[in-house]
Structure 1
């Protein structure tokens, strides 16, 4: 009887461990959740919804979708992973077709406002475009997706800009030529037991030399040596 009970308990523990591993494996891909995050209290840089609000979003970002950090399992999923064998030759912004893991459509709108003023492919209203000024501060938010824990390598988030008023997105090599800041991926707050949903982010200032116009922006994060995730947005500099 003891052995039977022990075997059942052991099997249950193994099964629970496998479920946890599978869950973390599925929900482990990050993306930019907000491009212009503003804290309710400037002295309390908390990235949680209760302590701030978003005033600018990635392209075609659905306003009313799944809770924070769960859009990696949306349809289509929000995260986009570039081709592992050729990340520099992959689209810099997801077109919803190409990539190791194609994400939602984040291609440049024509006009640019078309990626913000309408609805996504599922009919959900999309968030507004980011507005700023030369030298203006932006704070970008992303979900940890289990990768801000101590035993994970902390690779930075790179933020890159295009030239003014692009007619198409820069390729990946051109974006990398104009990286304006590296942000700490593990800069997370409101840490609970679920490391998947820790809110993280970073703040920076746009170059003071920017001219009036619209700029494409790329958020890019390297998980492993062959895994690169990107999110794209546009910034209207006034």
Structure 2
């Protein structure tokens, strides 16, 4: 079968499946996860108790939404959109957040074809303590993260479309086990300089083109630091763990103002430097110099490694 036939076959596939998805969890405890577990979800989008049942991941409930202006979110935000079992998120500055969504057949893979598109996913936010939902332009003025685009198309190799983790929407390592309801995740950082307060976050995904957009919105309380966030989670009976990293690579885009780590992203912060035994200099009578490891007091979060060390060791 030639490429033209495959291409038109893929177009027929797009027309035969539902072209939609949504965020089902706004604080998931596995990055690049294989399978959905409700025990790994600490927070939900608006109306999660109605639209995203935790025991029926990926169930179609009409939650997919094409945004319009002035209504970028499917429902207007208020406290009634959350319950004790489907609560809103608590974040802290510098936190890596993992979000989860069902694939709904939209992954270029060995079990589908290489032409299923992805045209970008983004995270946007409101201003601090908004009284109403932002408009689409107001959301777009506060981009938190560009989650990337998954590889697809005739110029991509088999290896490229079947290697995980992937950037973008199609990061679903077990997609071929359940095309409709496989778990996909993405990760981003809360800006380290974001002030504490209430924010509305919006996930935006462009499927077939930048005109074919789906959004999901949720509230989050950004706490002053990790310790304050943990107190909130503990009070709610939720885990204070950081997300587990599967497949050894994090594709979370770095926030503005934070330099990339020198050794690449890892599942945990590198161990602190252990001072070595001093070696006397035979050519001088000066006392040996011992290099001390960085402390919380003098650590400036100019690198991701330093930021992770400070947050995990000092809060």
Could you say if the C-alpha distance between residues 65 and 53 of structure 1 is closer, same or farther in structure 2, counting changes exceeding 3 Å? closer
Confirm or deny that 1:191 pairs with 2:160: no
- Which residue number corresponds to residue 103 of structure 2? 144
> 1:129-158, CA deviations, whole angstroms, 9 ceiling, x for partnerless residues?
100111111101111111112211222211
Name which of 173, 187, 199 aligns with 1:215.
199
Mapped contact 1:47–1:141 kept (Cα < 8 A): no
Computed over aligned residues only, the root mean square deviation of the Cα atoms, in angstroms, reads 2.6
**1:164 positional shift:** 0.7
> 1:68-97, CA deviations, whole angstroms, 9 ceiling, x for partnerless residues?
112x3x2xx111123xxxx4x351101xxx
Mapped contact 1:144–1:195 kept (Cα < 8 A): yes
Mapped contact 1:56–1:127 kept (Cα < 8 A): yes
More strand by percentage: 1
- Which residue number corresponds to residue 26 of structure 2? 35
| Higher RCO, Cα 8 Å, sep 6+ | 1
For the residues of structure 1 that align with 2:169 and 2:135, how far apart are their CA atoms?
23
**1:55 positional shift:** 0.2
**TM-score normalised to structure 2 length:** 0.54
**TM-score normalised to structure 1 length:** 0.70
Confirm or deny that 1:235 pairs with 2:220: yes
Unaligned runs of 5+ in 2: 1-11, 109-113, 148-167, 224-315
Unaligned runs of 5+ in 1: 1-19, 95-105, 119-125
For the residues of structure 1 that align with 2:138 and 2:14, how far apart are their CA atoms?
36
Confirm or deny that 1:166 pairs with 2:166: no
Mapped contact 1:144–1:199 kept (Cα < 8 A): yes
For the residues of structure 1 that align with 2:34 and 2:19, how far apart are their CA atoms?
19
Q: How many residues align?
A: 185
Could you say if the C-alpha distance between residues 29 and 192 of structure 1 is closer, same or farther in structure 2, counting changes exceeding 3 Å? same
**1:46 positional shift:** 1.2
Could you say if the C-alpha distance between residues 91 and 21 of structure 1 is closer, same or farther in structure 2, counting changes exceeding 3 Å? same
For the residues of structure 2 that align with 1:65 and 1:49, how far apart are their CA atoms?
9
